């Protein structure tokens, strides 16, 4: 399992273009696979501000057997962030309740260039690990 790995490139069909600067997925091993490992975030940087089908698949593979706790989307508006978050939630087929909230401008942990100038929005997971686990 490659938790903590980064996706740095993807090919993008035009019909799948979604404006969203970056996506941060915070996940941890699911209860069944919990081996006492540290909670490590999986950071997904999407080039050209796009979410592509193969990016969703890479996220799914990296998070296989993990419980998604939150998805943070950096975008210029809440509407764009919501669109990106909804697409990811839909494509991953996980029950993450949609809760968009503006986070502060601190992006030290994410190391996203230029993200300080745009608001960040958070999609927070529920406590139901069974519904959130990526299969």
Q: pLDDT tens, 62-84?
A: 666 655 555 556 555 666 666 66
Residues 6+ apart with CB under 8 A from 40: 3, 4, 28
Cα angle value 60/100/2 (rounded, 5°): 25
Average pLDDT over every residue of 38-61 = 51
Tokens linked to 7: 């996706």
Compute the distance between CA of residue 59 and CA of residue 96 in angstroms, rounded to an integer: 15
Is residue 31 within 8 Å of residue 127, measured between CB atoms? no
Q: Residue 88: what pLDDT?
A: 67
pLDDT of residue 112: 44
Res 93: pLDDT: 62
Cα 31 to Cα 28, 128, 129, distances in angstroms? 9, 11, 8
Angle of helix 53-62 relative to helix 78-92, nearest 10 degrees?
60
How do the domains of the chain map onto residue ranges?
14-132
Report in angstroms the alpha-carbon separations of 6 from 25, 46, 47, 55, 92: 11, 9, 12, 11, 18
Report the share of the chain in percent with pLDDT over 90.
0
């Amino acid at each position: 399992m490659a938790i903590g790995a980064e996706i740095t490139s993807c090919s993008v069909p035009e019909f799948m273009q979604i404006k969203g600067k970056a996506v941060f997925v915070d996940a941890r091993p699911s209860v069944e696979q919990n081996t006492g490992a540290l909670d490590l975030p999986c950071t997904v940087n999407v080039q050209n501000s796009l979410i592509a089908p193969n990016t969703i698949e890479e996220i799914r593979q990296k998070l296989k057997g993990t419980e998604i706790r939150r998805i943070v989307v950096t975008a210029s508006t809440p509407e764009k962030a919501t669109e990106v978050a909804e697409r990811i939630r839909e494509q991953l087929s996980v029950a993450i309740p949609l809760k968009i909230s503006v986070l502060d401008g601190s992006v030290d942990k994410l190391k996203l260039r230029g993200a300080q100038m745009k608001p960040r929005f958070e999609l927070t997971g529920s406590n139901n690990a069974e519904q959130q686990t990526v299969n």
